């Protein structure tokens, strides 16, 4: 595809009902969401469980997964057999299950060739006194299994106070749970593999309980990881840009635009989410809750206004 045709790829969000979800995605972001407890907005995704459609421009109506296969030049030297990232907004009106995700090797072997799930959270909203679970205190599999069997959650789980603007990197093997009263923007590998450790004995509408995955969880928990005590961002902000994380799967930056900012052309691609404020990219207006992909070979982005963006990318092959 010629460079001059590589416009920004705005995607239409997809919404998923969850037992723990609420209505904040409509109330705060103005999304037109289905009835019921909506927990997840899949904002930029090519996963089979939610494959976003391009909203505008010459590629309008195409799915992101199609572009990855048929126009891979849009993504530069990004590697892999599938679009590698999934960007979500999660609205937790109630607590999510206590859960853990596998890494690539375990998922490939046990989950039909799926990617593992490394993820991170940028906290958009937290009610006063809100907290989350990040990490656990068992020193080995046997101790963890014993504490789970006894329901000794206070001894096992590492609970951290949470505030808007916090950031958490959730590596595979990290026991975690977003709790009620919290909304986060999540950047993750394009995977939907979750192992539930505990779900509070909740009952679904049909009277059943959601499946737990205790043996898989015990297999993949990282017993050597040190529990976190805070999600406060301590990295320096330089010219409005803060590097929140850089890991083998992605980089994530927070951009604070106050007037004007230029974003360089990516080697692979950028996923961009407007999480607060409003402004423009070039001559196109931008508002909170919009999401787009910047393809490889796109010219520098001229950003203006007063807004906060979360920008993620992947390393080149």
pLDDT digits (tens, 9 = 90+) for 172-210: 999 999 999 999 999 999 999 999 999 999 988 888 999
In the numeric block, the tokens 């679904």 are attached to 204
- The answer to whether 3-220 and 241-313 have equal CATH topology is yes
Q: Where are the domains of the chain?
A: 3-220, 241-313
Nearest to 178 by CA among 231, 102, 109: 231
CB-based contact 132:162 (threshold 8 Å): yes
Q: Decide if pLDDT at 120 tops 60.
A: yes
What pLDDT does 5 receive? Answer: 52
Average pLDDT over residues 92-98: 97
With H, G, I as helix, E, B as strand and everything else as coil, classify residue 106: helix
User: Which residue in the list 6, 24, 179, 196 is annotated as catalytic?
Assistant: 196
Instruction: Decide if 279 contacts 255 (C-beta within 8 A).
Output: no
Q: How far apart (Å, rounded) are the C-alpha atoms in residues 143 and 125? A: 34
Q: For domain 241-313, give the CATH number.
A: 2.60.120.10
Give the pLDDT confidence score for residue 265 in this predicted structure.
Answer: 87
Q: What fold characterizes domain 3-220?
A: Jelly Rolls (2.60.120)
> How far apart (Å, rounded) are the C-alpha atoms in residues 172 and 222?
8
- Looking at the DSSP bridge assignments, the partners of residue 227 are none
The residues with which 186 forms a beta bridge, in sequence order, are: 88, 121
Which range among 16-25, 83-92, 259-268 shows the weakest confidence by mean pLDDT? 259-268
- Model confidence at 159, pLDDT cuts 50, 70, 90, reads very high
User: Would residue 284 show up in a list of annotated catalytic residues for this protein?
Assistant: no
Q: How confident is the model at residue 3 (pLDDT cuts 50, 70, 90)?
A: very low
What's the average model confidence in pLDDT over 24-32?
Answer: 96
Residues 27/33/35/39 CA torsion (nearest 10 deg): -80
What pLDDT shows up at residue 205? 84
Whether 135 has a pLDDT exceeding 90, the answer reads yes
- Give the rounded percent of residues in the chain with a pLDDT score beyond 70: 98
Average pLDDT, the chain: 96
Cβ-in-10-Å burial (0-12, 13-18, 19+) of 159 comes to middle
């Amino acid at each position: 595809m010629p460079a001059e045709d590589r416009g920004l790829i705005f995607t239409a969000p997809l919404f998923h009902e969850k037992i723990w979800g609420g209505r904040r995605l409509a109330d705060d972001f103005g999304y037109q969401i289905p009835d019921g407890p909506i927990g997840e907005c899949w904002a930029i995704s090519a996963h089979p469980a939610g494959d976003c459609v391009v909203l505008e421009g010459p590629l309008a109506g195409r799915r992101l997964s199609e572009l990855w296969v048929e126009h891979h030049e849009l993504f530069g030297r990004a590697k892999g057999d599938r679009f590698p990232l999934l960007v979500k907004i999660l609205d937790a009106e109630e607590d999510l299950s206590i859960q853990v995700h596998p890494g690539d090797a375990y998922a490939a072997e046990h989950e039909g060739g799926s990617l593992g799930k490394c993820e991170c959270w940028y906290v958009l909203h937290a009610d006063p006194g809100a907290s989350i679970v990040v990490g656990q205190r068992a020193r080995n599999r046997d101790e963890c299994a014993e504490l789970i069997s006894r329901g000794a959650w206070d001894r096992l789980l590492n609970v951290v106070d949470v505030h808007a603007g916090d950031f958490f990197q959730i590596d595979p093997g990290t026991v975690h749970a977003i709790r009620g009263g919290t909304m986060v923007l999540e950047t993750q590998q394009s995977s939907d593999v979750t192992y539930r450790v505990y779900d509070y004995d909740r009952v679904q509408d049909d009277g059943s309980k959601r499946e737990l995955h205790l043996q898989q969880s015990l297999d993949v928990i990282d017993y050597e990881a040190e529990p976190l005590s805070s999600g406060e961002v301590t990295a320096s902000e330089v010219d409005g840009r803060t590097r929140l994380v850089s890991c083998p799967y992605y980089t994530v930056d927070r951009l604070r635009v106050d007037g004007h900012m230029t974003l360089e052309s990516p080697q692979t691609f950028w996923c961009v989410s407007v999480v607060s404020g409003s402004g423009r990219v070039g001559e196109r207006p931008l508002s909170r809750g919009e999401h787009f992909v910047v393809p490889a070979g796109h010219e520098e982005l001229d950003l203006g206004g007063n807004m906060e963006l979360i920008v993620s990318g992947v390393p080149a092959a």
